[in-house]
Amino acid sequence: MTDNSSPIPSFAGAGNLVYREPEVPRFVSGEGCWLTAADGRRYLDAEAANGTVPFGYDATLLHEALRRCEQLPGLPSFCESDLRLKVLSRLERLVSGALGTPGRVELDLGGAQAMETALRIAFAANGPGTVVVFEGAFHGRSGVTSMLSSSPRYRELLAAWGLEVVRLPNPDCRRCPHAPATGGCGTGCREAVARWGSELSGVGGNGFRRKVSAFVFESVQNVGGMVEPEHALLHSAVDHAREQGAVIIADEIFTGMHRVGPRWGFQRAGIVPDVVVTSKGLANGGAALSMVWSREPLGHPDRYRPGSHSSTYIGIPSALAMVDAVLDRWEGWTTVDKDILRLEESMRERLAAVAARHPDLVASVDAMGGTARVVLSGPHAGRLRHLFRSAHPEAGVLVATTGMAPDVINLHPPLVIGEPELDLFAEVFDTALDGLV
Ligand SMILES: Cc1ncc(COP(=O)(O)O)c(C=O)c1O
């Protein structure tokens, strides 16, 4: 086993990473699906910085973005530009086109703040009220979004305790904590989702002072361990939330832009949301820009008044130009649906072959678009993640794990990953599992 990682120096914020390990690689360059560390070891990025790099590491995108804004001064959020208007209308079409409904786009900074803007839009329509989410959800770590996210750890130091949040049961029907032996979501769960909604309305539904203002969901829970809510269960929850008058908010921060197959994750289950939030697939890691689309008239200035939210760096020209350049890439990718399907099949095939060689360690594997998950037979994900990085003599592989699902390895490489790289991935996976026993 090789472990060429460097010790973390003990100064400033060094080492304040989510993956706490005494030694981590320090990256110096990247190209395609590959990152290179200071010691020369190469790492295949199978977590693609949690979905921010759909097109892989590609300096030409950054150069192109800078070329597009080199004549512009560093405009703050309160100054209009042609570039901003162009990006806004391109983003608006991405969602309105898919839903066949006109809408408006707000820009924002990163995922958590955009989720707060989505809540503001819902509260502007409905008044402040209860927000309903699924157990296992992750919507950010800001004061407000940490209330929606499942891990209580995010709320320890700062949280908006005044926000009333109701958590529907975990929608991971494939390893259901309520009925582990069933092959899918039973009618019992669907009725239960509706019943919890009714109990909610018992304390404050329509006609009462407290009401359900928003239902927020991920079409595939990333931090929850790559969980796709059973479609029937999701439909029940959405239908019931609508009956309560709630605004339906799709958190597409991770799943948006073909990460899980179609352009939007909600298209997998055929859900029609009122508000769509996305970011990671828009800037290929080159800017912290996010967007909030809302169906007309939710974001109309008469209802959601201008100035309800802003932030100085929303839409600085370099960020807008980055999104503009990345949107060109997306538009040019005319075979995207077919290619993502092929990627899904390739990942599933390779994972299944490796899993078959290690039946005691791997409980199940599955792929959804450009994501996949490996469910292990126990909470070994942290140790296996380390082995992915270090076990193979030729190269490491970066994979994601989460505290909420310690038996799951999350995979989401750049969408442009090729067959030889997937072969190497399978070889490293095999070696890492050998090291686990
Ligand atoms: C589904 C989802 N929602 C919200 C967020 C928060 O985004 P950010 O880290 O940019 O605040 C993330 C980030 O991983 C996410 O995956």
pLDDT of residue 204 exceeding 50, the answer is no
Could you tell me the pLDDT band of residue 67, with boundaries at 50, 70 and 90? very high
Report whether residue 218 contacts ligand 1, using a CB cutoff of 6 Å: yes
Does residue 59 contact residue 419 with C-beta atoms inside 8 Å?
no
Report whether residue 324 contacts ligand 1, using a CB cutoff of 6 Å: no
The DSSP call for residue 8 is P
Does residue 185 contact residue 177 with C-beta atoms inside 8 Å?
no
| Residue 205 confidence (pLDDT) | 47
Choose one of 139, 311, 314 to mutate for the ligand 1 pocket test, by most ligand atoms within 8 angstroms of C-beta. Answer: 139
pLDDT of residue 84 exceeding 50, the answer is yes
Choose one of 133, 222, 253 to mutate for the ligand 1 pocket test, by most ligand atoms within 8 angstroms of C-beta. Answer: 253
| Residue 7 confidence (pLDDT) | 65
Closest ligand 1 atom number to CA of residue 142: 11
Biggest alpha carbon distance in the chain? 65
Q: Look up residue 10 and give its amino acid.
A: S
Which of the two residues, 364 and 190, has the higher pLDDT score? 364
H or E element in which residue 436 lies: helix 419-436
pLDDT of residue 8 exceeding 80, the answer is no
Report the distance separating Cα 329 and Cα 349, nearest Å. Answer: 28
Minimal CA–CA distance to 407: which of 370, 432, 434, 382? 382
Cis, peptide link before residue 128, omega less than 30° from 0: no
For 246-284, the pLDDT digits (tens) are 999 999 999 999 999 999 999 999 999 999 999 999 999
The per-residue pLDDT of the chain, averaged, comes to: 90
Verdict on whether the full-model pTM lies above 0.85: yes
| Residue 184 confidence (pLDDT) | 60
Could you tell me the pLDDT band of residue 210, with boundaries at 50, 70 and 90? low
Query: Which protein residue's CA is at the shortest distance from atom 4 of ligand 1?
Result: 139
221-243 average pLDDT score:
91
Report whether residue 259 contacts ligand 1, using a CB cutoff of 6 Å: no
| Residue 168 confidence (pLDDT) | 86
10-39 average pLDDT score:
82
Report whether residue 224 contacts ligand 1, using a CB cutoff of 6 Å: no
Which of the two residues, 24 and 185, has the higher pLDDT score? 24
Q: Which of 8-12, 103-107, 215-219, 430-434 is least confident?
A: 8-12
65-332 fold:
Aspartate Aminotransferase; domain 2 (3.40.640)
Report whether residue 251 contacts ligand 1, using a CB cutoff of 6 Å: yes
Does residue 36 contact residue 28 with C-beta atoms inside 8 Å?
yes
429-434 average pLDDT score:
98
Closest ligand 1 atom number to CA of residue 137: 1
Q: Look up residue 252 and give its amino acid.
A: E
pLDDT of residue 393 exceeding 50, the answer is yes
| Residue 12 confidence (pLDDT) | 67
Ligand 1 centroid vs 251 CA: distance in angstroms?
9
| Residue 397 confidence (pLDDT) | 97
Report the distance separating Cα 101 and Cα 333, nearest Å. Answer: 24
Could you tell me the pLDDT band of residue 232, with boundaries at 50, 70 and 90? confident
Does residue 111 contact residue 283 with C-beta atoms inside 8 Å?
no
Report the distance separating Cα 147 and Cα 166, nearest Å. Answer: 10
Report the distance separating Cα 105 and Cα 381, nearest Å. Answer: 38
Ligand 1 centroid vs 140 CA: distance in angstroms?
5
Percent of the chain with pLDDT over 90: 73
Minimal CA–CA distance to 111: which of 154, 51, 62? 51
Report whether residue 112 contacts ligand 1, using a CB cutoff of 6 Å: yes
Report the distance separating Cα 128 and Cα 202, nearest Å. Answer: 17
pLDDT of residue 3 exceeding 60, the answer is no
Does residue 226 contact residue 371 with C-beta atoms inside 8 Å?
yes
Report whether residue 134 contacts ligand 1, using a CB cutoff of 6 Å: no
Choose one of 18, 131, 254 to mutate for the ligand 1 pocket test, by most ligand atoms within 8 angstroms of C-beta. Answer: 254
359-365 average pLDDT score:
97
Residues 6+ apart with CB under 8 A from 59: none
Closest ligand 1 atom number to CA of residue 254: 16
Report whether residue 111 contacts ligand 1, using a CB cutoff of 6 Å: yes
289-309 average pLDDT score:
94
Exposed/middle/buried for 435, CB within 10 Å: 0-12, 13-18, 19+? middle
| Residue 74 confidence (pLDDT) | 87
Report whether residue 52 contacts ligand 1, using a CB cutoff of 6 Å: no
Report the distance separating Cα 153 and Cα 150, nearest Å. Answer: 9
Could you tell me the pLDDT band of residue 302, with boundaries at 50, 70 and 90? very high
What the block records as the tokens of 366 is: 């599955």
Report the distance separating Cα 324 and Cα 103, nearest Å. Answer: 19
Domain ranges of the chain: 65-332, 335-408+427-437
Ligand 1 centroid vs 118 CA: distance in angstroms?
13
CA 77 to chain centre: 25
For the domain with range 335-408+427-437, which CATH number is right: 3.40.50.300, 3.30.70.2860, 3.90.1150.10, 3.40.50.11540?
3.90.1150.10
Residues 6+ apart with CB under 8 A from 155: 146, 147, 149
Q: Look up residue 121 and give its amino acid.
A: I
Report the distance separating Cα 139 and Cα 404, nearest Å. Answer: 14
Report the distance separating Cα 157 and Cα 414, nearest Å. Answer: 34
Q: CA angle at residue 139 from 287 to 378, to 5 degrees?
A: 110
Q: H helices within 100-186, ranges in order?
A: 110-126, 145-148
- Cα distances (angstroms) measured from residue 328 to each of 57, 66, 278, 333: 16, 14, 17, 9
For 93-148, the pLDDT digits (tens) are 999 999 999 999 999 999 999 999 999 999 999 999 889 999 999 999 999 999 99
pLDDT of residue 309 exceeding 50, the answer is yes
